[in-house]
Amino acid sequence: MKETKLPGDKGLVLLSRAKHHAIAAKLTKTFIFDTKPLIVQYEVNFQNGIECGGAYVKLLSKASELNLDQFHDKTPYTIMFGPDKCGEDYKLHFIFRHKSPKTGNYEEKHAKRPDADLKNYFTDKKTHLYTLSKAMHNFLVFSFHYCLLKSVHFLFVFSLGTLLVLNPDNSFEILIDQNVVNSGNLLSDMTPPVNPPQEIEDPNDQKPEDWDERAKIPDPDAVKPDDWDEDAPAKIPDEDAVKPEGWLDDEPEYVADPDAEKPEDWDEDMDGEWEAPQIANPKCESAPGCGVWQRPTIDNPSYKGKWKPPMIDNPNYQGIWKPRKIPNPDFFEDLEPFKMTPVNALGLELWSMTSDIFFDNFIICTDRAVADDWGNDGWGLKKAADGAAEPGVVGQMMAAAEERPWLWVVYILTVALPVFLVILFCCSGKKQPSAAEYKKTDAPQPDVNEEKVEERDRGEAEEEEEEKAEEKPEVKQKTDGDAETASQEEEEEEEEEEEEEEEEARKPTVEEEETANRSPRNRKPRRE
């Protein structure tokens, strides 16, 4: 394998593209669809992706003329199951060849297409578990693991159980990653059906010549009205139209290119007389139009077209003819289609537009535990190695955004929206109600701490004293008499200031008054 996480991992590689390939191996013992389980398991890796082609396996039918050296697409097989893709058609085949108990002929039976969309399983580059469970009381189970580009793993498990052999139900299920994507019954959900219809259309029956299948016919009694004019044109000139002012009637719409020159190799005997190519008349660029003016056409109100009689119900209508039914000479009823043709070889017969398809770890056994151990020792190690090498969540998001640039908008909104909501929640605090709102209601308010108010007022008084002391002008030296007068005035001023401070301290502040007014204990009773 070109890019492997397991050194020394080797396998079978389909190297060429657009060619047919076939390889097969014989089983050591023929498997008979009876009571023993059959388990077939293998791995495949689409190293270069998948454009058009398949990776399915075939269980080859036992036959005396089977020659594996001549194995090709016509070699009979019993079961084919696996993925197949071409263009935008994504398939998951489940086909088995059913032998008619009446004629002995074989016919392919295809399971119905799943309702689920399989495209994602082909394109997400992940390993998936595919399972086809064919319950029969005896049951048949197919499962495989698939991954595009990185590793494609198919695990097919065929198991014929030992529950109730005599009363099978023939149901089947197809699962991907343990999720059912398709389910049904071999007797009712295969195309064509396993059992043919009891009646078929008579191939020799012919439709009578006078059989009338027309549901509607023209009214034979209808008559064309006298005023119906079939020759009236659909369009007529608009009589109300007026030629635009400035229209140049005498100027052609196109003129010869004055700058064009005859080629030097022009031979008039061979090429005829040379004429300059035509270009749009430059004089018409500034005019509404050039050449002969014609009135525009409008819909003819009198136009009715060709007259046809109206349609009426056909009184002789007999319906759509169908041939009569007869008993089907090839009818049979097989209630146990799971009892298929024995197999004695397994092969790959493929055509693909993709090269370097890697196959590995084929195993066929009858013990599920053996197959599980084989898968864990091979595919399990590859899955674990691929999982360890996968990028983290951030890496996957970046890779997805590179393929789909619109995801950047989703990422930004996902991150920015919660941040914006957190900021909005933190910055929009609950607004406290104002004093005026308290006055409008009888809601109680907390008492004001008087000690804190006094400390605040005392601090404000000290700050005012310091400001006044800094603003006092310098006192000049005076005479002894003037100094005494000045000192007396200063003492009086200081006494007055102290008295004012004491009065201010005793006065309640505006806030205290408002608080006292709001307090229910000091509020005056209302008048009824």
* Neighbour count for residue 515 (Cβ, 10 Å): 19
Q: Shortest CA distance to 234 belongs to which of 300, 307, 296, 306? A: 300
- Which range of 111-120, 235-244, 423-432, 489-498 scores highest in mean pLDDT? It is 235-244
Phi, psi of 99 (to 5 degrees): -100, 125
DSSP string, 249-280: TTS-SEEE-TT----TT--HHHH-S--PPEEE
The model's confidence at residue 359, banded by pLDDT at 50, 70 and 90, is confident
Rounded Cα distance, 437 and 93, in Å: 78
Mean pLDDT of 417-430: 77
Share above pLDDT 70 across residues of the chain, in percent, rounded to a whole number: 70
**Tens-place pLDDT, residues 364-391:** 777 777 877 887 888 778 777 777 666 6
Find the range with the poorest average confidence among 3-17, 218-232, 237-251.
Answer: 3-17
- Which range of 159-168, 230-239, 416-425 scores highest in mean pLDDT? It is 230-239
Q: Spell out the long-range contacts of 127-131 with Cβ–Cβ below 8 A and sequence spacing 24 or more.
A: 127/151, 127/153, 127/383, 127/386, 128/176, 128/177, 129/155, 129/175, 129/176, 129/177, 129/178, 130/83, 130/92, 130/154, 130/155, 130/174, 130/175, 130/176, 131/157, 131/173, 131/174, 131/175, 131/176, 131/178
Rounded Cα distance, 191 and 95, in Å: 10
pLDDT at 167 over 60: no
pTM over 0.75, yes/no = no
The model's confidence at residue 429, banded by pLDDT at 50, 70 and 90, is low
DSSP string, 61-76: EP-TT--GGG--TTS-
Mean pLDDT of 192-203: 94
- Calculate the average pLDDT of the chain: 76
**Tens-place pLDDT, residues 444-477:** 555 545 555 566 667 676 777 766 665 554 444 4
Mean pLDDT of 292-300: 92
DSSP string, 133-173: EEESSS-EEEEEEE-BSS-EEEEEEE---SS-SSS---EEE
pLDDT at 363 over 60: yes
pLDDT at 286 over 70: yes
pLDDT at 26 over 50: yes
The model's confidence at residue 132, banded by pLDDT at 50, 70 and 90, is low
Rounded Cα distance, 372 and 387, in Å: 19
Q: State the pLDDT at residue 381.
A: 81
Name the more confident of 463 and 358: 358
- Which range of 1-10, 102-111, 143-152, 450-459 scores highest in mean pLDDT? It is 102-111
pLDDT at 250 over 80: yes
pLDDT at 330 over 80: yes
The model's confidence at residue 361, banded by pLDDT at 50, 70 and 90, is confident
Q: State the pLDDT at residue 129.
A: 41
> Distance of CA 362 to CAs 44, 144, 291, 358, 416, Å?
10, 12, 84, 12, 52
**Tens-place pLDDT, residues 61-119:** 999 889 999 999 999 999 888 878 888 888 888 899 999 998 889 999 998 988 888 77
Token digits for 523?
């509020």
The model's confidence at residue 144, banded by pLDDT at 50, 70 and 90, is very low
Rounded Cα distance, 391 and 520, in Å: 69
Q: Shortest CA distance to 198 belongs to which of 88, 330, 313, 314? A: 330
Q: How many CA atoms lie within 13 A of 263 on its CB side?
A: 8
Q: Find out whether 141 and 155 touch, Cβ atoms under 8 Å.
A: no
Q: State the pLDDT at residue 452.
A: 55
> Would you give the DSSP letter of residue 88?
T
Find the range with the poorest average confidence among 120-124, 472-476, 483-487.
Answer: 472-476
Q: State the pLDDT at residue 155.
A: 39
pLDDT at 168 over 60: no
Share above pLDDT 90 across residues of the chain, in percent, rounded to a whole number: 22
Q: Shortest CA distance to 21 belongs to which of 354, 345, 364, 344? A: 354
Q: State the pLDDT at residue 503.
A: 65
Mean pLDDT of 261-271: 87
- Which range of 36-40, 86-90, 200-204, 485-489 scores highest in mean pLDDT? It is 200-204
Mean pLDDT of 188-207: 93
pLDDT at 140 over 50: no
Measured in whole angstroms, the distance separating CA 277 from the mean position of its chain's CA atoms is 55
Q: State the pLDDT at residue 88.
A: 83
